[in-house]
C-alpha cells in the first residue's frame, strides 16, 4: 500500500512538472515586430498631428495604463482616451518617435526610445520644442497584432530651477 501511495505521489509530481510552462526569455525583437512598432509609432505621430484620438486609441488595449509626466497614472481605455482628447484638442504635435531598442518577452514587446519635434497650441502661439524619452510595452493580441498596454514617458529637459527665495 505504501509503494502504491509513493508511486501515485511521484506520478502527481511528474504531471505537475509537465504542466509548468518555462519562463519566457527576453530576446531582441524580430524584424517583423520592430517593423510593427515602427508602423504603430508612425500612426501615433500622424494622430498627434491631426487629433485623431479614435484611431490612436484603436492601437491600445482595454486595460491600457499611461504614466504621463507629473500626473497620476491614467488607467483604462476610457480614461486614456479622455486624456488624449484633451491633449490633442489643446496642442498639435509634430513629433517623431524613434525606437532605440525593442525586445520581446513572451506576448509582450517592450520598446525604449525618444520622441522629438514640436507642440503648437491650437489656440495660437509659438511652437514649443518636444524632447521626450519613453518606454512602451505592447501586448500581442490573438491575431498577432500589437497594442499598447503600458506607457511611460517624460521630458529630456532638466526641471526648471526653483523660484528665488523672497528677499527679507
- Going from the C-alpha of 78 to that of each of 62, 74, 124, 136, the distances in angstroms are 8, 9, 28, 19
9-68 tens-digit pLDDT: 555 555 555 666 778 899 999 999 999 999 999 999 999 999 999 999 999 999 999 999
What's the whole-model pTM score?
A: 0.82
Q: Which domains does the chain have, with CATH numbers?
A: 28-155 (3.10.450.50)
Contact present, 135 and 115 (Cβ < 8 Å)? no
Amino acid at each position: 500500500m505504501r509503494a502504491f501511495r509513493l508511486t501515485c505521489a511521484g506520478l502527481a509530481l511528474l504531471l505537475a512538472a509537465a504542466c509548468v510552462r518555462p519562463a519566457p526569455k527576453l530576446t531582441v525583437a524580430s524584424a517583423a515586430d520592430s517593423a510593427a512598432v515602427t508602423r504603430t509609432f508612425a500612426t501615433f505621430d500622424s494622430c498627434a498631428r491631426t487629433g485623431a484620438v479614435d484611431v490612436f486609441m484603436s492601437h491600445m488595449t482595454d486595460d491600457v495604463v499611461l504614466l504621463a509626466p507629473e500626473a497620476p497614472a491614467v488607467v483604462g481605455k476610457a480614461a486614456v482616451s479622455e486624456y488624449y482628447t484633451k491633449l490633442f484638442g489643446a496642442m498639435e504635435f509634430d513629433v517623431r518617435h524613434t525606437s532605440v531598442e525593442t525586445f520581446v518577452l513572451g506576448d509582450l514587446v517592450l520598446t525604449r526610445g525618444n520622441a522629438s519635434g514640436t507642440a503648437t497650441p491650437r489656440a495660437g502661439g509659438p511652437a514649443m520644442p518636444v524632447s521626450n524619452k519613453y518606454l512602451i510595452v505592447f501586448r500581442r493580441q490573438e491575431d498577432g497584432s500589437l497594442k499598447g498596454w503600458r506607457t511611460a514617458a517624460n521630458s529630456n529637459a532638466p526641471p526648471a530651477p526653483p523660484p528665488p527665495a523672497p528677499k527679507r
